[in-house]
Amino acid sequence: MGWNGSCVHTGKKIRFCLKTEKGLWVMKHIAIGILGAATLGFMGSAASATTLDTVKAKGFIQCGVSTGLAGFSAPDDKGDWQGIDADFCRAVAAAVFGDGTKVKFTPLSAKERFTALQSGEVDILSRNTTWTINRDTALGLNFIGTTYYDGQGFMINAKKLPGVNSALQLSGAAVCVQSGTTTELNLADYFKANKMEYNPVVFEKLEEVNAAYDAGRCDVYTTDQSGLYGIRLTLGSPADHVVLPEIISKEPLGPAVRQGDDQWYHIVKWTYFALLDAEELGITKANVDEMKNSASPEIKRVLGQEADTKIGTDLGVSNDWVVNIVKAVGNYGEMFDRNVGSGSPLKIARGINALWTKGGLQYAPPIR
């Protein structure tokens, strides 16, 4: 790929050295679009190394996250990134390096995210991003699965707007929304389908939308429902705001990688499946070491304790990769509870995000 400050071989022995990483970091905040265009222009044309090799060589995974969405990816008071999306990157780092801390986070706005992944600035995009066909095809991405099943909703200030208890009463309202999202498109579709008028107030960054809504620039805030619960906590007086019952879209949120590198795609995808399988088999952060000696052949196989196992090495990681993942972040259920569920301020119920064995949609193929 010729990336990360390495030198690029281009055909006839021309060595083109770019100090890309630092230069790009500065540029990104000016215009990621120009960056992407320039990057595509200067990138070597011959793919030289796989993502796994590049990641191993630099010693960490560069993970694209949001600029701050509670429960998914937001820095805590110590500056460490917390949330499901951040933890997912830690899980991949644990699978690759055996150490969940070998991750560096890049906060990206909705508008910057795809260019950052396409151009190679990040190795994984784990940023509450909706899986759509357009993104899987025209944008050259590969979504690995749905780490959180979500749907778009509306939030209003019930104190200022008493009597509004349905999204169908919102005709004529000013609606705050983040640009460059599926949310923006669903919003237009929903109001059009219901023959209602609205006044879009569009910002590029989540913080700008939050500030505008809090200041009363708009009547309604729309984004994924999980996001609304997270954002409500950051507002001046959270108790005044209510999330309306309507869910107007399917928003399967999941991590994505670049196309063209099946090995990396499989590592990220099976990290997600391993988190689910661990929960299904009852392997937790606390009992993972005991579980290694379990009598169940399935648990032993998943944890890489089978004699002469090649499951991990075939994937391109070590055989105790699942042990490392669970030690780093726990299983999927633990990750959910800690970040958005009962153990978090958001208190979101598992709902459709429960395992298939408990009536939810989370289902993983077997590790064998």
Partner 1 sequence: MASQEVLREESSRASFINDPKIRSLFFQTLVVIVLFGSVWWIVQNVIDNLQRLHIASGFGFLRGRAGFDISDTPIAYTSDSTYGRAIVVGLINTIIVAVAGIITATIIGFVIGIGRLSQNWLIQKICTVYVEIFRNIPPLLVIFFWYSGVLAVLPAPRDSYHLPFGSFLNQRGFYFPRAVWGEGSWLIFVALLVGIAMAWFVARTARQRQMATGQQFPVFWTSVALIVGLPVLAYVLSGFPLSFDLPKQSTFNLTGGFQVKPEFLSLYLALSCYTAAFIAEIVRAGIRGVSKGQTEAAAALGLRSGSILRLVVVPQAMRIVIPPLTSQYLNLTKNSSLAIAIGYPDLTATAGTVLNQTGQAVEGVLIMMIAYLILSLVTSAVMNVVNARMALVER
- Please report how close the Cβ of residue 255 comes to partner 1 at its closest, in angstroms: 17
Contacting residue, 179, 234, 305, 318, with partner 1 by CB under 8 A: 179
> Which ranges of 194-250 would DSSP assign to H, the alpha helix?
206-214, 225-234
Of 133-141, 237-245, 303-311, 358-366, which part binds partner 1 (CB under 8 A)? 133-141
Question: Is residue 192 near partner 1 by the rule CB under 8 A?
Answer: yes
Rounded CA-CA distance 218/55 in Å is 43
Calpha distance 87→331 (Å, rounded): 11
Does residue 17 belong to the site contacting partner 1 (CB under 8 A)?
no
The rounded distance, in Å, linking the Cα atoms of 70 and 227 is 8
Place of tokens 């590969």: 142
- Based on the number of CB atoms within 10 Å of its own CB, is 365 exposed (0-12), middle (13-18) or buried (19 or more)? exposed
Q: In angstroms, rounded to a whole number, what is the distance separating the alpha carbons of residues 170 and 108?
A: 31
Tell me if 201 contacts partner 1 by CB under 8 A. yes
**Contact with partner 1 (CB under 8 A): which of 5, 21, 42, 318?**
42
Contact assessment for residue 218 and residue 205, using Cβ atoms and an 8 Å cutoff: no
Strands laid side by side in the 103-107 sheet: 103-107, 61-65, 124-125, 256-258, 141-143
Q: Which of 26, 30, 133, 138 binds partner 1 (CB under 8 A)?
A: 138
Indicate the SS3 state at residue 68: coil
Cα 297 to the chain's mean position, in Å? 33
Q: Is 180 in the site for partner 1 (CB under 8 A)?
A: yes
Q: According to the binding rule CB under 8 A, does residue 47 interact with partner 1? A: yes
Question: Applying CB under 8 A, which part among 22-30, 31-39, 76-84, 94-102 lies near partner 1?
Answer: 31-39
**Is 199 or 296 the residue whose CB approaches partner 1 more closely?**
199
Question: Does 281 help bind partner 1 (rule: CB under 8 A)?
Answer: no
Per CB under 8 A, does 23 bind partner 1?
no
Q: Are 154 and 167 in contact (CB under 8 A)?
A: yes
Per rule CB under 8 A, is residue 114 in the interface with partner 1?
A: yes
Residue 321 near partner 1 by CB under 8 A = no
With binding defined as CB under 8 A, does residue 162 bind partner 1? no
Window 218-277: residues binding partner 1 (CB under 8 A): 219, 258-260
Q: How many CA atoms within 13 Å lie on the side-chain side of 9?
A: 7
| Non-local CB neighbours of 45 within 8 Å, separated by 6+ positions | 10, 11
Whose Cβ is closer to partner 1: residue 212's or residue 354's?
Answer: 212
CB of 18 to partner 1, least distance (A): 12
Name which position in 63, 70, 173, 257 contacts partner 1 (CB under 8 A). 173
Closer to partner 1 by CB, 215 or 295: give it: 215
**131 lies in the binding site for partner 1 (CB under 8 A):** no
User: What amino acid occupies position 103?
Assistant: V
The window from 111-119, 143-151, 276-284, 285-293 that contacts partner 1 (CB under 8 A) reads 111-119
34 sits in which H/E element: helix 32-42
**Phi, psi of 317, rounded to the nearest 5 degrees:** -130, -175
Instruction: Check residue 37 for interaction with partner 1 (CB under 8 A).
Output: yes
Residues forming contacts to partner 1 in the complex (CB under 8 A) are: 10, 31, 33-34, 36-37, 40-45, 47, 110-111, 114-115, 118, 134-135, 137-140, 160-161, 169-170, 172-174, 179-180, 184-185, 187-189, 192, 198-204, 208, 211-212, 215-217, 219, 258-260
